[in-house]
Structure 1
Amino acid sequence: MPSTTATRSTAVRKSSTKASPRTPDAVTLLRADHKKVSDLFDQFEKSRSTAKKRQLVAQICQELTVHAQVEEEIFYPEVQAALRDKELVPEAKVEHQSIKDLIAAVEGVEPYGEDYDAKVKVMSEWVKHHVKEEQNEMFPKAKKSKLDLVELGQRLQSRKDELLAQYPTSH
């Protein structure tokens, strides 16, 4: 009788080979999220319309909240275990908390005044710093690990879809 571990790894390998070509691996999925949020911040910087700023901030907050949640629930624990990491993941979690604090300061608030724009600007800078560390340090290490990034990507996408469905309108 095969051990549970052997059976599980065989199943994981089989599931990853049968994955739809449209399902991105975990790193590709997370990089796409990073790009989308970066583009939204760029649009905010260029906007002079209060209504447009309100809509962009709502979308930025939604994207960042969902992204952080799937990373914290699924990606980070897997990476931390695979890499036996005691530095990258804890630091990333602290960075997430700082970004969540800024989200709380601007989400649902009317976009008036210098303080509002400054909070969004600082959030953008912190997100850029966080993204740079993930993409230059964590993601390359995850790719070199034994993690099944396709299976992990499927789990991330599934959870992301669940979370996005909880929002009144998805952008």
Structure 2
Amino acid sequence: MTTRTQSGAQAGKQSGAMAAGQDAIALLTADHREVHEMFEQFEQLGDRARASKEKLKEKICKALIAHTTIEEEIFYPAVSAQVEDAEDMVDEAVVEHAAAKDLIKQLQEMEPDDELFDAKVKVLGEQVDHHVEEEEKEMFAKVRKSGLDLLALGQEMAMRKQELMDTL
């Protein structure tokens, strides 16, 4: 496995290259904002907006599947390898992903007029908000201080995310 660390000199060189790509934390944070907006849009829909709810549910599920996959395949292993005392944070995040994936699976098998559909979307949104808050306040701060090459990691994650979005 290659190590994703950078020296101060490399960090300086890469700061100018940031315009060419997003670092890992910027990519994940943008995903967080995007999916939060989708949940807010869902909340605004009325009971009769069946087609809009179905379309938004599909977008939410696709975005969350891609996001959790890149975190679990790329980001969390890098964090575990480079960030001191990250194991508990990563384990908790993976468990939160499992709970979200369970609701996603249920929602994918449901229609907007099914009983508990709206409630499940709302609970999924609440779970995601909790996960995002912990990740952004705790994990990302430690990751930024770790020396991980966030630009290279972000590029790898962006490529994998695009693959997933093209196939989901």
TM-score range, shorter chain: 0.7 to 0.9
2:33 corresponds in structure 1 to: 35
- TM-score of the aligned structures, taking structure 2 as reference length: 0.88
Please say if 1:62 is aligned against 2:62: yes
The 5 Å alignment of 1:10-159 reads 13=10, 16=14, 19=17, 21-48=19-46, 49-84=49-84, 85-159=86-160
Q: Which is worse superposed, 106-115 or 93-102? A: 106-115
Identity %: 45
Instruction: Indicate how the Cα distance of structure 1 residues 9 and 134 shifts in structure 2: closer, same or farther if over 3 A, else same.
Output: closer
Q: Which amino acid aligns with 1:23?
A: G
Q: Which amino acid aligns with 2:99?
A: S
User: How big is the shift at 1:86?
Assistant: 2.0
Q: Which amino acid aligns with 2:33?
A: K
Contact in 1 for aligned 2:6/2:149 (Cα 8 Å): no
- TM-score of the aligned structures, taking structure 1 as reference length: 0.86
Instruction: Indicate how the Cα distance of structure 1 residues 17 and 45 shifts in structure 2: closer, same or farther if over 3 A, else same.
Output: closer
Structure 2 spans left out of the alignment, 5+ residues: none
User: How big is the shift at 1:22?
Assistant: 3.6
Contact in 2 for aligned 1:27/1:139 (Cα 8 Å): yes
Distance 2:73 2:118 in 1: 30
Q: Which amino acid aligns with 1:51?
A: A
2:167 corresponds in structure 1 to: 166
Contact in 2 for aligned 1:16/1:151 (Cα 8 Å): no
User: How big is the shift at 1:123?
Assistant: 0.3
Q: Which amino acid aligns with 2:81?
A: A
Q: Which is worse superposed, 145-154 or 107-116? A: 107-116
Contact in 2 for aligned 1:70/1:159 (Cα 8 Å): yes
Higher RCO by CA contacts (8 Å cutoff, separation 6 or greater): 2
User: How big is the shift at 1:18?
Assistant: 7.2
User: How big is the shift at 1:83?
Assistant: 1.2
Question: Number of aligned pairs?
Answer: 161
Summarize deviations over 1:58-117 as a string: whole Å, max 9, x none: 000000000000000000000111113221000000000000000000014211144011
